[in-house]
Structure 1
Amino acid sequence: MPMKMISPVSFRELILVAAILSRMQIQSILYSQTYIQVTTDRSGDMQPSWSPDGIHLAFASSRDDPLHDQIYIYSIQDNLIRKLPIRGYEYLSLCNPSWSPSGEKIAFNSPGHISVVSDEGGTPEQLTQTNAKSICPSWSPDGNQLVFASRPSLEDFNSDIYIIPAIGGNHTLVYGSNGWETYPCWSPNGKMIAFSSGSPTTPTYIYSLDLASHEIKRITRSNDLNLTEEEPAWSPNGQWIVFTKTTWENDESGNQKNHNSNLYLVSTTDGMEYPLTHTLREGKSFYYREPSWSPDGNSIVFTSAPVFVSGDIWILTDFWTYTKIKETSTVSRNDLRLEQNYPNPFNPETVIPYQIPESGHLNIEIFNMMGQRIRTLVNEKKQAGSYNVIWDGCNDFGETVSNGIYMYRMTSGGFTKKMKAAFLK
């Protein structure tokens, strides 16, 4: 029986009403966004996936057995969590649940294999039959295939991207290199696959693969060697990808450790990035990972917790207003404008929007409160249009600035405009 899709308005109301009437916590804590906490017991809830009807969340958790992750279903309407009974897999760790487009099946990976089970549970069907370690399944929009990542062993760093029929059979290599390709996900039109790729000697970024031409295109633009970009998820309209961006730092022994993870949006047309979350919350350092879109494209479910603490499931909504995302191809008003940065305060990045009515040379510079120029963001000729520039909180030498208020100034011809931004570590 086809699943009834919930309209964007009623779907958002459903989330908020369920949150108000249940133990969910609504926290409008950052820049007018709304954060809704779905699970609260810090029992290792992770990898949430939204059902196509928008009223259920599947996620992995060790809440009943600290040694083995199992699949759970959360009902937004009823505020109930049930364990998905998967026969024969009770003492195995099951990860990365993914709803089929029909909502009738859930794909997941058990140790080394991709399997599919009914959304009511039961005996699963194991699709992959090789000795390779297969992870991160994602359905094609028509429900006929699954894309997944696979590597020779858990100890082997290299992994490649494969496709397998949803009814099982031979799997087909669609992309492989000498690096780690993982977290594949299908575009809504079924023509492309997004994934993350990196290696021990190169950073991990987000790429797309055109299944017809086999063209590989890098989607994200950062050149920071201390960044890891992964866990991409296409928006339902295909215009955006939400992903996790993690910055790394070394500990006293010189070993890498997780510094922070945040969610970002990147446009699939022009590559512009927009930060969605902020690492600091309630005076603590939090991570945000494993995003999944609601079917109406107005909310994102993800995992979050203080760094190095077991996670809970959260929902982020109202972010389209927060990000102020808009068309940038034309200038709607015949003037030159410098707008307030967002988020503000910020860490680690902020977006500065500006608009110019005609082509000309443009400068955008950052100054400290002593009037010293510390960073030049733009110094070039620009065509008429609306733009965004990102400041990463660093000076011209790549050093992170201190906490405080900074002024950013735009100069073009005889026009000068100044605004203030606050950086908080």
Structure 2
Amino acid sequence: MKLWKIATTLALLTTMAGSLSFAGTLEAYSNSGVRDVGGSSYLSGNTSSGDLIQIISVGSNGTIDPPDTLGSTTSDDSLLGTTHVGFGFPFNPNEGKFSKTFTHDLLTVGAVVYVRAWNDSVVDATKYYGDSNTYELQSEMDSHDFGTWTVSNPVHVPVELSSFSVEAKPGYNEIRWTTQSETENLGFHVYRSFEPEGERIQITKKMVDGAINSQVRHDYSYEDRTVDENATYYYWLADIAVDGRIAVHGPQKVISVSRPTAYGLDQNYPNPFNPSTSLTYTLKEDGSVKLRIYNIRGQLIRELIDVKQPAGQHVVEWDGLDNFGNLVPSGTYLYVLDVNGHKFTRKMAMTK
């Protein structure tokens, strides 16, 4: 009886340090529970939407070790990643199915992994379904449904993602991510849902352009200004390769905060500064915004922005240059915010 039907697309990678690592997506479904640790019988109960899935390496002893009472790995087993039944098969969750994309630089050809399942989204106070049999990572494609976890022909992972986070700001949620390298990466889309296994809606109207090919760090951000106050959201990041391959990261959970109820201009930071500083201000409503720098005699030094902006909190960097590209001398300067008939002024000091 076949319990887990496995369809995998794994890539064997060579890292910059020269060591081997595996990356890819495991997709599977269960029709009658999960094989127990002994491997000779099946535990009753079908996996269903929301059940927790753990992907685990067996470690150097080559055997499956039982979990502790909270589902943590024991002995020399190590947790590679977690996902949930109903999560995956990109943007179309299915009952009894799951998908997990992961990269792990400690796995080499011949390493052994297995799947563990629990009957809820958390492992404490839930029923333990048991473990699947083991899957050995191979260097060549293998068509076995049960018993071998296969590796496709070597390809490059389009994006090496080092961070992905979401932060609630007044009136919007800010999504940030950082890549350490990109290989034939066309760009990114951001998806959002009200539930971790709910329908994911694309919120990026157009693709956030990627670096195509790069071996240096790139920082990205996107502002979701279509959020309700004090609502819970889940975000996913999808990177799209030139050849159409898609890798999905997330979800990241955030609770949105209330929209601003007043206009305001914060003290710059750092202050004193040399040579640059950040100017933060808050808009109660959408409006035409002007932010200018003056010297202590009231002479215009730099016009930083003159644009329409949505309600919420905004940050503008001043690099210490005037309108002609010259670095300003040490001294006291005024920065003035003018929006919707409201004007705010603060002082700051440039030191050398």
Question: Which interval holds the TM-score relative to the shorter structure?
Answer: 0.3 to 0.5
More helix by share: 1
- Normalising by structure 1, we get a TM-score of 0.31
- Normalising by structure 2, we get a TM-score of 0.36
- Structure showing greater radius of gyration is 2
